[in-house]
Amino acid sequence: MWAFYSALQSALDLLRKCPKCGHKQKVRLLDKNKTVACAKCSNPLPPNGHKL
Ligand SMILES: [Zn+2]
């Protein structure tokens, strides 16, 4: 089950929820460590936001 768990973890890493509008923004693997803009409201979504 560890492979499944780590796959789930990396999937979560590539999904960032916008705190402003609640949109779940998909993040490309290349942009994983970069701040991306929300597709709906352009709010900046910094990396590792879900850990705070
Ligand atoms: Zn947003």
Model pTM score: 0.66
pLDDT, averaged across the chain: 84
What percentage of the chain carries pLDDT values higher than 90? Answer: 44
Q: Which two tokens stand for residue 13?
A: 């890493």
Asked if pLDDT for residue 50 goes beyond 60, the answer is: no
What's the total number of domains in the chain? Answer: 1
- Looking at residue 12, its pLDDT comes to 67
Query: How far, in Å, from the CA of 4 to the mean position of ligand 1?
Result: 29
Enclosing domain of residue 41: 2-51
List of residues 6+ apart from 7 with CB closer than 8 A: none
Q: How far is the CA of 1 from the centre of ligand 1 (A)?
A: 33
- Dihedrals φ, ψ of 24, to 5°? -90, 105
pLDDT band (50, 70, 90) for residue 18? very high
pLDDT score recorded for residue 1: 66
CA atoms within 13 A on the CB side of 39: 8
Is 32:14 a contact under the CB 8 Å cutoff? yes
